[in-house]
């Protein structure tokens, strides 16, 4: 059973860089037909897809965040990471990591999720 766990600072100052890591257990992030995503949810609001990284290391990003986002991976520790720069209060949210299993052309559902971590942007 694959498990995902987010970690990182819970408080980030405005204009700085938000950095989070997702540690995966029960499966390798560098093998198989999988994508590994980041999604966020401001308090009381809906979900927003941020982007994802494939087992090969290729990435896809939400166009509205693309200029500020980098998703990377550390295969030796079976982790993938999110960096979001120039943050503002609008980036305050619960951040989730999640997995997609690709079967044929079907490669867009999120079947396993981490529990989420709250990141607050404030001075």
Partner 1 sequence: QSALTQPRSVSGSPGQSVTISCTGTSSDVGGYDFVSWYQQYPGKAPKIMIYDVSTRPSGVPDRFSGSKSGNTASLTISGLQADDEADYYCCSYAGSHTLIFGGGTKLTVL
Of the candidate residues 46, 56, 76, 122, the single one contacting partner 1 (CB under 8 A): 46
Min separation Cβ 13 and partner 1, Å: 26
Min separation Cβ 14 and partner 1, Å: 25
- Determine whether 49 is exposed, middle or buried from the number of CB atoms within 10 Å of its CB (0-12, 13-18, 19+): middle
Of the candidate residues 15, 28, 33, 60, the single one contacting partner 1 (CB under 8 A): 60
Of the candidate residues 48, 68, 78, 85, the single one contacting partner 1 (CB under 8 A): 48
- Determine whether 25 is exposed, middle or buried from the number of CB atoms within 10 Å of its CB (0-12, 13-18, 19+): exposed
Contacts with 106 (C-beta within 8 Å, 6 or more apart), sequence order: none
Nearer to partner 1, 89 or 118 (CB): 118
Of the candidate residues 1, 31, 63, 76, the single one contacting partner 1 (CB under 8 A): 63
Q: Is 12 helix (H, G, I), strand (E, B) or coil?
A: strand
55 binds partner 1 (CB under 8 A): no
- Check the CA dihedral 29-30-34-35 and report its sign: positive
- Footprint of partner 1 on this chain (CB under 8 A)? 37, 45-49, 60-64, 96, 106-111, 113-116
């Amino acid at each position: 059973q694959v498990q995902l766990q987010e970690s990182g600072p819970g408080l980030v100052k405005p204009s700085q860089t938000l950095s989070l890591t997702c540690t995966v257990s029960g499966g390798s992030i560098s093998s198989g037909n999988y994508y590994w995503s980041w999604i966020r949810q401001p308090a009381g609001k809906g979900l927003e897809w941020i982007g994802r990284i494939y087992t090969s290391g290729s990435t896809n990003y939400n166009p509205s965040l693309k200029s500020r986002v980098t998703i990377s991976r550390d295969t030796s520790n079976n982790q993938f990471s999110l960096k979001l720069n120039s943050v503002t209060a609008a980036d305050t949210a619960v951040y989730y990591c999640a997995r997609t299993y690709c079967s044929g052309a079907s490669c867009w559902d999120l079947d396993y999720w981490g529990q989420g971590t709250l990141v607050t942007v404030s001075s």
